[in-house]
Amino acid sequence: MIFHHDPKKSFAHAKHLFDHADFNEAAKSFQRSWNAQRSEKALSYLMLTHLLRSDYKAIARLMNEREFYGGFSWYTLFWCRFLTGDFYELDDILDTMLECDNYFVRAFALYEIIKRRKSREHRANADRYLHQTGLSYEMPIEEYRASLYTELIHERYDSALSAVRKLIIEFPRQPEAYLDLFEVMNRTGDKDLLKELIYDKAVQTHARNDYRLMYLISRAFYSAGDMENAKLALKTLTGLFRSNPVFYYNLGNIYFRQRNFGSAVEYYKKAIEFAPLFERAHFNLGTLYLKAGYLIDAERSLEEAVKLRKKPDNLNNLTACYISGKRLEDAYEFLQSLSNVDRGFRERSIELKNQIKQVLVLT
pLDDT in tens, 232-275: 999 999 999 999 999 999 999 999 999 999 999 999 999 999 99
Q: How many domains does the chain have?
A: 2
Share of the chain above pLDDT 70, in %: 96
The pLDDT, as a whole number, for residue 264 is 98
Look at residue 312 and tell me if it is in a domain. Answer: yes
Residues 6 or more apart whose Cβ sits within 8 Å of residue 287: 298, 302, 317
Task: Specify the pLDDT at position 348.
Answer: 75
Is-contact 148 129, C-beta < 8 A?
A: no
- Grouping H, G, I as helix, E, B as strand and the rest as coil, residue 263 is helix
Q: The domain containing residue 358 runs over which residues? A: 277-363
The last residue of one of the domains, among 51, 85, 119, is 85
Domain stop point among 34, 69, 85 = 85
Measure the CA–CA gap between 105 and 44, rounded to whole angstroms. 11
pLDDT of amino acid 3: 46
What is the band of 351 on the pLDDT scale with cuts at 50, 70, 90? Answer: confident
183, part of any domain: no
Name every residue whose Cβ is closer than 8 Å to that of residue 257 and which is 6 or more positions away in sequence. Answer: 227
Q: Is residue 23, in this structure, part of any structural domain at all?
A: yes
Tell me the per-residue pLDDT of 293-319, one tens digit each, with 9 for 90 and over: 999 999 999 999 999 998 889 988 998
- Average pLDDT over every residue of 127-154: 88
Q: Is 350 exposed, middle or buried (0-12, 13-18, 19+ CB in 10 A)?
A: exposed
Q: Does residue 237 belong to any structural domain of this protein? A: no
Instruction: Decide if 18 is inside a domain.
Output: yes
Predicted TM-score (pTM) of this structure: 0.90
Taking only the tens place, the pLDDT of each residue in 50-65 is 999 999 999 999 999 9
Would 63 be classed as within a structural domain?
yes
Helix and strand element counts for the chain (H, E): 23, 0
Residues 275-296 pLDDT 10s: 999 999 999 999 999 999 999 9
Domain boundary among 85, 118, 143: 85
Query: Is residue 181 assigned to a domain?
Result: no
Are residues 29 and 57 in contact, defined by beta-carbon separation less than 8 angstroms? Answer: no
Residue 95 has pLDDT above 70, yes or no: yes
Lowest-confidence region among 21-35, 199-213, 344-358: 344-358
39 belongs to a structural domain: yes
Find the CATH number of the domain harbouring 294.
1.25.40.10
Model pLDDT, residue 266? 98
Alpha carbon distance 353, 331 (integer Å): 8
Average pLDDT over residues 111-136: 87
CA 49 – CA 64 distance, rounded (Å): 18
